[in-house]
Amino acid sequence: MTFTEPIRKYILSGVVAFVVVGLIVANVMASKQDQEFATNEALYSQAVQLQTDGNYEGAWEAISQVLKAEPSSEIANYLAAIISVNKGDAKQAAIYMQKTLDINPYKAEDAMFMIQLGEVFVAAERYEDAKTVLLRCQESAWTLEEMPNYQEHVASLLAQIENPQ
């Protein structure tokens, strides 16, 4: 089967039109996505600043908006956990810390994250989970420059679990 010259032109015109329409749609969608990203980034930065300043309610409002738009964001869930624990809601903080770990299982290799996870689990009275995390910290024999008494702190948290008051 051979195509005549006019049929080839129609086919080529159709392909070109398809590509052009595709590029226009992609451009429109990308600019909308860029706007959403910029908005979420601004809200996240605002939440970090408010949390640093000790305004936990304001930080919570900002990070909640980010989580509505990006519920699977590791960093947003982690910040939500930090804000929750600072607000005194250890149970909610434990949920967000667990979600952070679920999103990125490699956080189990982050010594600072793991000690924070253990502390949050202790505060939330999730002692079995805390024990699992703290034993991992102990077995890994992690030390941190910014926390020279890391292993002593792990041992004290484990003792606190074993001897609840």
- For the chain (165 residues), the mean pLDDT of every run of 10, in chain order, is 75 76 72 74 90 94 94 95 95 96 95 96 95 94 91 93 77
* Residue 80 placed within a domain: no
Q: Are residues 95 and 165 in the same domain?
A: yes
Residue 150, phi then psi, degrees to nearest 5: -55, -55
* Residue 107 placed within a domain: yes
Both tokens assigned to 65: 């908006």
Q: Are residues 100 and 165 in the same domain?
A: yes
* Residue 79 placed within a domain: no
Q: Are residues 63 and 96 in the same domain?
A: no
Number of domains in the chain: 2
* pTM over the 0.85 mark: no
Q: Are residues 142 and 106 in the same domain?
A: yes
DSSP assignment of 14-45, as one string?
A: HHHHHHHHHHHHHHHHHHHHHHHHHHHHHHHH
* Residue 82 placed within a domain: no
* Residue 10 placed within a domain: yes
Q: Are residues 3 and 39 in the same domain?
A: yes
Residue 1's pLDDT is what?
A: 64
Q: Are residues 46 and 107 in the same domain?
A: no
Residue 31's pLDDT is what?
A: 64
Residue 30's pLDDT is what?
A: 63
Q: Are residues 103 and 158 in the same domain?
A: yes
Query: Three-state SS for 116?
Result: helix
Residue 165's pLDDT is what?
A: 62
Residue 127's pLDDT is what?
A: 94
Q: Are residues 51 and 117 in the same domain?
A: no
Helix axes 127-140, 150-162, angle to 10 degrees: 150
Task: Give 135-142's long-range contacts (Cβ < 8 A, gap of 24+).
Answer: 136/108, 137/111, 140/111, 140/114, 142/111, 142/114
The range of the structural domain enclosing residue 65 comes to: 1-70
* Residue 75 placed within a domain: no
